[in-house]
Structures are given as C-alpha cells and as structure tokens.
Amino acid sequence: MKIEAWLKSNTFHHSAFWDVMQAVKEKERQNLKISLCIPTLNEEKTIGKEIVIFRSELMERYPLLDEIAVIDSGSEDSTLEVAKAFGADVHLASEILPDLDARTGKGENLWKAIYQLKGDIIVYVDADIKNIHPRFVYGLVSPLIYRPEVKYVKAFYDRPLAFSEKQVRPSGGGRVTEILVRPLFSLFFPDLTALIQPLSGEYAVRRDVLEKIPFPIGYGVETSHLIDVYNKWGLGAFAQTDLDQRVHRNQETRSLGRMAFGIMQTFLRRLENMDKIKDLPEMGKTLHQFQVRDRNYEQVQFEITEHERPPMISIPAYRKKFNRGEAHES
C-alpha cells in the first residue's frame, strides 16, 4: 500500500467518532468486548481523574468499555489505593502468571494485560495524561469497530510539555521519535514513517494480534510492535487517530538517552532476525553518560537489557484460559 493512499484512508481525527452510542451499537452487534489497560508506576496524581472520566463517560453513560484495569509495576505511592477507590480493577504485574520469572517494566505490564483482561480489543492509555478525555479511548477503538481489516490503531497528537502547574510550553515532545526512530524507519522500514508518532503510549489492538507478537519488557515495546505487526500483516493493518493534544510530564535528556539505548537494542535485534543485517556483534548493555560535580567529570553507567516476553499464545496457561488450543503461527 502506498503511503499517500494509506494516509488518506487510515488516518482519522477523533471527531469522526463523536457518536459514541453508534460505536456501542456496532460493538454489540459484533459481540465485541473492549478492555482498557492503564499501566502504572507511581501515578497517584493523575490516575484518579483518568479512571473517573473513563468510568463515567465510557462505562456508565456509554457502555463502550467492558472493564478498566490498572496493571501496576509496584508503585510506592498511593496509586493502587486511588485506582481501586475510583472503581478500577487493580492488579500487580508480579502476581499475574506468577510461575514465570520475575520482570519489571512497562512492556511487562502491557504483556500481562493480555492474560489478565478479557477484551477482544485492548486499548492501552498511559497514566500520566493531565488533559485526559474520553477521546483517548473512543478515538482509538472506533477504527477497529468499523474497519475489520484494521488490527492496530496508534494515537498521535500535539504534545505541549508541562513544566509547572501554571506554565505550558506550546510545542515540543517526540524527541526520540524524530532523532532516532524516524531516521531508522526511513532507512529500513520506509512504510512505517507514515505513522506520525510511533512511540505514542496510546493504542488499541485486537487480541488475536497481541497474542501473536513478542513483547520487550522495557523501552523497545512500541517500536517492536510496529515492526512485528508490519512484518506479519503489512501497512494496511495499521490506522492512526489524531487526538489533538496530550499534556504530560517532560523527561530530561538523559532519561531519553536511556530510552533510545533500549530501543536501539530492540531495533537491531529485529533487523538481525529479519536478515536485514548479518553477523551483528555482541551488543553492550551498559549506557555511559556523564555528570559534573564540583568540576569533577563523573561517568554514570546504566545497565539496560531489553529482555523480551514471547508471544502470549505460547504460554500454556493463556491457551487454557482462552481456549486457544496449541500454539500456532498466523
């Protein structure tokens, strides 16, 4: 599919799906279940508002969602208590599939949600959004409801960065996308450059796709999803929805360096597995950064290893729970 044609047919604005009741009727006609997963780690300041809005608007007013679940990495603040008080199902990632080796990371939470939640469609929404609105869900699930050939819907938006409670800078964000991911896609997967914000934390996906792809447990999860879905189903499997604006926390440059380091590990591993590069040497797992303290230049090292979970369909407990039979490729 040509990128220009895809952009016209598979790029939406959330306002196209304003009639949520119509989406509910179509969802019920297809007998679909839709689950919302909010992965968390110390998000007590924003998690309550998200749950209140999604429950009141998309469960009580319009029954678009069948469940709202928080999958938590081990918060040390009151995230779990707040989430439960406002009506979300709350789960610790470490207590889901506990027989597996212990891992921590956002990707781990997303992966375990496939086992824990019941939806035919799972929509993931980050927990730190300050301007949360129902469009963050209905704008993403609607293309899946109305377009059976679409399998994976990504969000994009303007991303002003909140520096204080009173000041918002009108532009910015997407630095790792523009400096790292978009150049890499341009080199190796030009079709994927059609995705305006490939690293956005908001997306909706069909279960029968999620269960068949591996999940890096850390920073590389979104990038790996796009490559793996594209490799299996092509550009036509994707859609994207403009959600207008997302207000969120800013991350310092060094944190983005750690993110980029994890993404690079995942990306290079994918290239090798797809025979796009050969004889890749063993990659280092230590990121070296610097800080200055009293004119002393100190090297700071971070060990970052992008472990991956296998496709969920390969887990016997999952196949038993969802009556999937033997693991198979599709």
Dihedral pair phi/psi, residue 199, rounded to 5°: -100, 10
Q: Provide the CATH number for the domain around residue 241.
A: 3.90.550.10
Asked if residue 173 has pLDDT above 70, the reply is: no
Determine which of 25-29, 43-47, 82-86, 321-325 has the lowest per-residue pLDDT on average: 321-325
Give the count of domains, the chain.
1
Considering the domain boundaries, does residue 98 fall inside one?
A: yes
Per-state percent for the chain, helix, strand, coil, to nearest 5: 40, 20, 35
For 154, the token pair is 């990504």
Considering the domain boundaries, does residue 68 fall inside one?
A: yes
Considering the domain boundaries, does residue 139 fall inside one?
A: yes
Range of the domain at 200: 3-171+189-252+310-321
Considering the domain boundaries, does residue 180 fall inside one?
A: no
For 19, the token pair is 């009639």
- Residue-wise pLDDT for 123-149, tens only, equals 999 999 999 999 999 999 999 999 999
Asked if residue 261 has pLDDT above 60, the reply is: yes
Considering the domain boundaries, does residue 49 fall inside one?
A: yes
Considering the domain boundaries, does residue 145 fall inside one?
A: yes
Q: Average pLDDT for residues 280-302, to the nearest whole number? A: 89
Give me the percent of the chain exceeding a pLDDT of 70. 93
H/E run at residue 241 = strand 238-245
- Residue-wise pLDDT for 194-246, tens only, equals 999 999 999 999 999 999 999 999 999 999 999 999 999 999 999 999 999 88
Considering the domain boundaries, does residue 263 fall inside one?
A: no
Return the amino acid letter for 41: L
H/E run at residue 157 = strand 152-158
Considering the domain boundaries, does residue 276 fall inside one?
A: no
